[in-house]
Amino acid sequence: TLYLARLHLFLYITSSIFDSLFNLVVFCLLSVFLVLFFFFQAEDGIRDAQESRGLGDVYKRQAKYLDSNIDTRDHPFILGEWTSPANKKATNTFPDAVAMVLQARGDNAGLSKWQTSMQGIPLAMHLNDMRTLAHSLKVDLDWDMEKCRSPEGYYGVKCGVDYAIARAQAFAPHADIIWMESGKPIAEQAGVFAAGVKKAAPHQMLAYNLSPSFNWDAAGMNDEEIRTFVSRLGKMGFVWQFITLAGFHTDALGVTSFARAYNKDQMLGYVRDVQRKERETGVPQLLHQTWSGAELIDKLQSLVNKGGSTSIMSDGVTEKQFASKL
């Protein structure tokens, strides 16, 4: 019964727009396709895509693969296979592999020199340069990134905030605003990213996705921490904070609530849960004819037909019924 009520409402609204069943069917199919396409592209597609393809999604904390190793800014984060000091096959980035060898030797001076060299702003060192520096520390590895490529040919990368920071630092001179996509709403993580970016570009503007894909109630925050989340990020330099699908979810909640009320209480469900609520909360769209542009059209029409009798907002307009209830 609930779904029939929803269908009845939808058909009633669209019947005045579409003059044939064929047009209505085409509209419905296109609408479903576009909603699903943009939903998954804008939200889950951005988050779960494993390949970093450009500036738009280059700062993903969770990216696992690259389609090319041509960019030297990626080299310190690409995974390779090598033989560890324990004489076992291991998978690490080249910087991590060298650090593991130096640490196993107990070469603290060499390890300190290596770690300092790996803290460039931005960190963008070609593999050959890293091999040369490692050789100067008497470390020569059989490290090979080609052995860690996926069946499709993608290079594996060490994902994380450090990778996002390095990429953001590199693009800061060319970007008005920088965005790192995250898996959960963690203010501390956002702070680390912001500090890392601003170390290279102090005035860089940052963006943050207050994603509805996050389960905010399972993010480890109480209500007060959720309430202040936006302001805390604002102090870190996240000047553009957005909810990617707020409209999608609020529309779904409103329509679902109304459909259930309409199914149960018929017209009372609309009057009680929509019209009265609009009046109580001062929602200006209660007078929807005003918002349709009717008054503007009347004024334009009066310029060429002054004193005409065919204005939209004439004496019989139903909107005037609300005068006594406002």
Do the beta carbons of residue 145 and residue 69 sit within 8 Å? yes
- HSE of 63 in the Cβ direction (CA atoms, 13 Å)? 28
Paired with 238 in beta bridges are 206
DSSP string, 28-97: HHHHHHHHHHHHIIIIIHHHH--EE-SGGGTT-TT--EES----GGGGGGBEEEEE-TTSSEEEEEHHHH
Return the sign of the alpha-carbon dihedral for residues 139, 140, 142, 144: positive
> In this predicted structure, what is the pLDDT of residue 49?
34
> In this predicted structure, what is the pLDDT of residue 128?
93
4-13, 86-95, 101-110: which range is least confident on average?
4-13
Q: Three-state DSSP class for 122?
A: coil
126-135, 150-159, 314-323: which range is least confident on average?
314-323
Do the beta carbons of residue 59 and residue 122 sit within 8 Å? no
pLDDT tier at 124, thresholds 50, 70, 90 = confident
Do the beta carbons of residue 73 and residue 167 sit within 8 Å? yes
d(Cα 171, Cα 58) in Å, to the nearest integer? 10
Percentage of the chain modeled with pLDDT above 90 = 57
DSSP state of 91: E
Q: Three-state DSSP class for 234?
A: helix
- HSE of 70 in the Cβ direction (CA atoms, 13 Å)? 5
pLDDT tier at 3, thresholds 50, 70, 90 = very low
10-14, 188-192, 211-215, 245-249: which range is least confident on average?
10-14
Higher-confidence residue of 105 and 316: namely 105
Structure confidence by residue, pLDDT tens digits, 172-223: 999 999 998 888 999 999 999 999 999 999 999 999 999 999 999 999 999 9
Percentage of the chain modeled with pLDDT above 70 = 74
For 309, list phi and psi in degrees, rounded to 5.
Answer: -110, 15
Structure confidence by residue, pLDDT tens digits, 64-96: 899 999 988 899 999 999 999 999 999 999 999
Do the beta carbons of residue 178 and residue 204 sit within 8 Å? yes
Do the beta carbons of residue 172 and residue 197 sit within 8 Å? yes
For 155, list phi and psi in degrees, rounded to 5.
Answer: -90, 135
Residue 227 has pLDDT above 90, yes or no: yes
Average pLDDT value for the chain: 81
Residue 57 has pLDDT above 50, yes or no: no
> In this predicted structure, what is the pLDDT of residue 311?
61
d(Cα 43, Cα 39) in Å, to the nearest integer? 6
pLDDT tier at 58, thresholds 50, 70, 90 = very low
d(Cα 76, Cα 157) in Å, to the nearest integer? 9
- 14: tokens are 């669209």
Neighbour tally for 46: CB within 10 Å: 18
> In this predicted structure, what is the pLDDT of residue 308?
62
Q: Three-state DSSP class for 144?
A: strand
Q: Which of 85, 174, 68, 50 is nearest to 122 (CA)?
A: 174
Q: Which of 134, 138, 53 is nearest to 93 (CA)?
A: 134
Q: What is the mean pLDDT of residues 35-46?
A: 42
Structure confidence by residue, pLDDT tens digits, 251-263: 999 999 999 999 9
- 170: tokens are 């590199």
pLDDT tier at 299, thresholds 50, 70, 90 = confident
pLDDT tier at 51, thresholds 50, 70, 90 = very low
Q: Which of 249, 171, 158 is nearest to 207 (CA)?
A: 171
> In this predicted structure, what is the pLDDT of residue 275?
92
> In this predicted structure, what is the pLDDT of residue 320?
62
Structure confidence by residue, pLDDT tens digits, 133-187: 999 999 999 999 999 999 999 999 998 899 999 889 988 999 999 998 888 999 9
Higher-confidence residue of 23 and 286: namely 286
